Structure 1
Amino acid sequence: MYRRQAVFRIALCRRPLVQANRRFISSEKTPTSDAPHDSQSLPPGWEDEAPALSDFTELPHKDFGKNQLMETNEDFKRALRGILRQFPPITYAFAYGSGVFPQSAATASRTTQSPHPNAPEAILKWQKGGGKMIDFILTPKFSQHFHSLNLREHRDHYSFLGSLGSGVVSHVQDKYGAGAYFNPYITVNGTLIKYAVVNYETILRDLTDWETLYFAGRLHKPVKILHEEPNLRVANQRNLLSAVRCALLLLPPTFTEKELYSTIAGLSYQGDPRMQYGSENPKKIDNIVTHQIRNFRYLYHDLILSLPNIRYADDSATHKSGWMENHDLDLKMSQDMDPERRANMVRRLPKKFREKVYFQYRGKFGISGRQYQEMLEANKDEAAGGTLKKQVAGEFDKRIAGEKDIPQMVTKAINQTVKWPSTVQTLKGPFTAGLSKSWRYLQEKREKARMK
């Protein structure tokens, strides 16, 4: 059992923002190299622990979660961290999207004019000349405090809501949609960016419980983590493993690597109004997987090996030098369809999401309200004292695992999870970003969808 300590601290910084955040980033305790590691980093039983970590040395294993650290060149990473230093202190941050990792061959070789007014050379080189707006997620421990400091330094980043103060901004952020506050089309260090602020508790819950899949879904795909926190590293490892299990419930007995990764990448897009109403490229998921297969392998390969019910058809292929970098390779895979193994996967789905799956089958099986509540109580993840119970499939999980319509029921649960928060998050865009920026963003998305 890991040492239990309080996770939350209030860091009220009175020094200038740029200086404060520079000190905060430079004191991080993660290793200097962010290249993926081949070592096994999933010690047995780690999922049944619920520690509150105060330091990276308390992780279950010294290499635990290194699969999350996608490799980029050092100059690009420093340029991204230089952008972060212009903001108030944050606890966790990552950059994502096609501005960080190409999603098509056109993106990787674009020679059109860059959208960045005066970006560092490292960013222009990484984006191969053309460039795209870079997306960030910034996670402070307390978003109202972050907005209070940020409004003092960067009032021009905000819409009219900024005039109403940090309390209103953080209320709109937390109470509507998925819990994010987006500021798009912002120039920092000569680089055009879009950044979202999300509270620490919000992203932690989404990674562990899949409340909205808004942040968990972004982290299902390769991202560039720029600033870490040990509890969120553990939570994201749970999130990634949950994504594999959920994808397996949707897939047939045999499939390929790309089919697995496409299913994972597509989880958070199901029910997203942007996919339904033509403001996202319909080939987006295929583009992401095809052009980032190497990073998907680094992200998920160790997790796949840790599960007893999934295997590569040809294990020897994964032992060949350089196989992860081979974009033409699409290895065949299979899963064990034994009902007991599938029942255990159902039981280990994230809490809020699992309850939605249960609710689908409550209606199908005609279970009464009282019986259903008793079943939920018996299947609680938490034991007395706040510890996690060992998650072993119960009778209800086994009954579900025997049904042939699991893919359809899980898909319904995904849609229920994603649709409402994503819709509201989209609708609040004109208020948080302003009408002109929201319209510009929507038009650019539609244009990209028509071109591809």
Structure 2
Amino acid sequence: MAVPRFHQTHLRIASPFLSYSRPIYNTSSLLRPRASTFRNLTTGPSKESPAPSSSSSTPPPTSIPPADWEDNPNYDISKFSQLPHTNFGVNQHILINDEFKESLRQVLWNFRAPIRYAFAYGSGVFPQAKPSASPSSATSIHSNPPSAVVNAQGGNPKMIDFIFGVSYTQHWHSLNLHEHRDHYSALGSLGSGAVSAVQDKWGAGVYFNPYVTINGTLIKYGVVNLDTLCTDLSQWSTLYLAGRLQKPVKILRDDPRVRLANQVNLISALRTALLLLPPSFTEQELYGTIANISYMGDPRMSLPTEDPSKVANIVGHNLPNFRRLYSPLIENLPNVDFNDTKCSNPDWASDPTTNIRLTQDMSPVKRGNMVRRLPKSFRSKLYFQYQKKFQIPQLEFNKMIEASADEDATRINKREGGGFERCIASEPPDDLRGEVRGVIKNTVSWPSTSQSLKGPLTAGIGRTWRYMGEKINKYQEGKRKTNEKRD
């Protein structure tokens, strides 16, 4: 991977991102980081930090990790020590209140079926608005929530969303049906085979059980096969789960293969956003563009079921969390820089009111490299769009695609843009943005639509109707607030 440029106006971001209250990662030595700290979090080793997971008994890697980990990622791993370096992917672990985190983890303990990877996400974990009601109203949704949940959600009680990554879908549902039959709709009566078939063959490969009460807390949990999850993260086959993980989530149970795939996902989201942005832009614009990727083409966004200010609310109320996710990656890319005098303030990274300006290199070579490094499935769709636009004969196009294939049994492939990618990057910015947006919409549209259509089957008519009603209420409330701001 190319070494990033460092300008004097750059700030190496300090402590708000680099300290954990739980000893999964001992990053106390990084509280006063050197200039290369963020680079170490994503592409280089830290000599002072222990192995990234206390659950792994293997020693931390001692050799310098390969600089080309992104060019040739090894997804066939089972231990954290097999990741490119010790602190790899630490940026994915967002900090939340310790008591609230423990309450979320206790939810997992209610499932005997093995959960390999789990995260909590959405407005129930990361508020998207300031509290607007008294804390006592928190019990109106949750039957008897722990005090940590009440305190974290304040006067805006929300159902808490989870995703569970599992190794064997049918086996997992078989165990879970035996233990928690009441979590399932009538489809559960047909057995784990029917449940897993609906999960894996329809939509984006996720099976949701909404409106489940565990430990007095109302939750919704989705079940996904780890292979499906990793494929979407690394290739953007549907962007359904990859899009959720492009925004701040709270990882409750980690897996090395998913962490590697998600780091690829985050870098890909950053590159895609840069292709959609002008030479100069703000953090709010960058993170808003990233957060909006998974909503392009989502049919719910064109119906009165989502708050029209959803993306702005996600970014506006979680700016420090977006910084933790993406600032290490920004520091590592050679074609984008923080370029703002506000960076001279050592506390800017934890200040949610600061909106830093960035600049990017618009040269066809640099942007062509970004095109070449887009996720495989997504990149193929973009290439096909430009094959039609440039009217490239099919035989010639096939040779171009074969020459730029990621997989090569005889050599290590450096994913650098060639003539075709530079031609794409040389397109007028508005034309390129339109093509990229079109590919995003085509990727998101059908999986999201079919996932929504199977909702009545997996959740049941009653719970689906309840869910839609709540979504419509959110839409109306968001529209009312937007109109009030305009007035």
TM-score of the two chains, using structure 2 as the length reference: 0.84
2:130 to 94, 105, 114: 105
Q: Which residue of 2 aligns with 1:200?
A: 226
1:226 to 252, 259, 276: 252
1:57 correspondence with 2:81 = yes
When residues 110 and 368 of structure 1 are mapped into structure 2, their CA distance, relative to the original with a 3 A threshold, is: farther
1:297 to 323, 331, 335: 323
Q: Which residue of 2 aligns with 1:92?
A: 117
Q: Which residue of 2 aligns with 1:383?
A: 408
Q: How does 1:162-201 map to 2 (within 5 A)?
A: 162-201=188-227
Q: Which residue of 1 aligns with 2:25?
A: 31
1:335 correspondence with 2:335 = no
Aligned length: 423
Letter in 2 for 1:161: L
Q: Provide the C-alpha distance between the structure 2 equivalents of 1:284 and 1:130, rounded to a whole number of angstroms.
A: 16
Q: How far 1:258 sits from its partner (Å)? A: 0.3
1:47 correspondence with 2:73 = no
Q: Secondary structure at the match of 1:384?
A: coil
Q: Secondary structure at the match of 2:42?
A: coil
When residues 388 and 413 of structure 1 are mapped into structure 2, their CA distance, relative to the original with a 3 A threshold, is: farther
Give the conservation status (yes or no) of the 8 Å contact 1:242–1:349.
Answer: yes
Q: Provide the C-alpha distance between the structure 2 equivalents of 1:214 and 1:220, rounded to a whole number of angstroms.
A: 10
Give the conservation status (yes or no) of the 8 Å contact 2:135–2:150.
Answer: no
Q: Which residue of 2 aligns with 1:12?
A: none
Q: Secondary structure at the match of 1:334?
A: strand
Q: Provide the C-alpha distance between the structure 2 equivalents of 1:308 and 1:258, rounded to a whole number of angstroms.
A: 21
Q: Which residue of 1 aligns with 2:10?
A: none
Residues 267-286 of structure 1, C-alpha deviation per residue, up to 9 Å, x if partnerless?
00000011011211110000
Q: How far 1:46 sits from its partner (Å)? A: 1.9
Q: Which residue of 2 aligns with 1:373?
A: 398
Q: How far 1:33 sits from its partner (Å)? A: 8.1
Letter in 2 for 1:437: R
Q: How far 1:71 sits from its partner (Å)? A: 0.3
When residues 366 and 29 of structure 1 are mapped into structure 2, their CA distance, relative to the original with a 3 A threshold, is: farther
Q: How far 1:374 sits from its partner (Å)? A: 2.0
Q: Which residue of 2 aligns with 1:76?
A: 100
Q: How far 1:399 sits from its partner (Å)? A: 1.1
Q: How far 1:320 sits from its partner (Å)? A: 2.8
Comparing 46-55 with 229-238, which one deviates more in the overlay? 46-55
1:287 correspondence with 2:313 = yes
Q: Provide the C-alpha distance between the structure 1 equivalents of 2:205 and 2:351, rounded to a whole number of angstroms.
A: 38
Q: Provide the C-alpha distance between the structure 1 equivalents of 2:432 and 2:73, rounded to a whole number of angstroms.
A: 29
Give the conservation status (yes or no) of the 8 Å contact 1:36–1:298.
Answer: no
1:324 correspondence with 2:349 = yes
When residues 224 and 190 of structure 1 are mapped into structure 2, their CA distance, relative to the original with a 3 A threshold, is: same
2:147 to 121, 124, 133: 121
Comparing 196-205 with 110-119, which one deviates more in the overlay? 110-119
Where structure 1 has 5 or more consecutive residues not aligned to the other structure, the ranges are 1-27
Residues 224-254 of structure 1, C-alpha deviation per residue, up to 9 Å, x if partnerless?
0000001111111110000000000000111
Q: Secondary structure at the match of 1:187?
A: strand
Q: Which residue of 2 aligns with 1:361?
A: 386
Q: Provide the C-alpha distance between the structure 1 equivalents of 2:169 and 2:329, rounded to a whole number of angstroms.
A: 32
Q: Provide the C-alpha distance between the structure 2 equivalents of 1:96 and 1:34, rounded to a whole number of angstroms.
A: 26
Q: Secondary structure at the match of 1:181?
A: strand
Comparing 397-406 with 257-266, which one deviates more in the overlay? 397-406
Q: Provide the C-alpha distance between the structure 2 equivalents of 1:63 and 1:232, rounded to a whole number of angstroms.
A: 15
Q: Provide the C-alpha distance between the structure 2 equivalents of 1:47 and 1:308, rounded to a whole number of angstroms.
A: 14
Q: How far 1:107 sits from its partner (Å)? A: 6.4
TM-score of the two chains, using structure 1 as the length reference: 0.90
Q: How far 1:318 sits from its partner (Å)? A: 3.3
Q: Which residue of 2 aligns with 1:443?
A: 469
Q: How far 1:32 sits from its partner (Å)? A: 7.4
Letter in 2 for 1:55: K
Query: Identity of aligned pairs, percent?
Result: 52
Q: Secondary structure at the match of 2:137?
A: coil
Q: Provide the C-alpha distance between the structure 2 equivalents of 1:29 and 1:149, rounded to a whole number of angstroms.
A: 32
Where structure 2 has 5 or more consecutive residues not aligned to the other structure, the ranges are 1-21, 44-66, 479-487
When residues 445 and 154 of structure 1 are mapped into structure 2, their CA distance, relative to the original with a 3 A threshold, is: same
Letter in 2 for 1:45: D
RMSD of equivalent CA atoms: 2.0
Give the conservation status (yes or no) of the 8 Å contact 1:36–1:69.
Answer: no
Q: Which residue of 1 aligns with 2:279?
A: 253
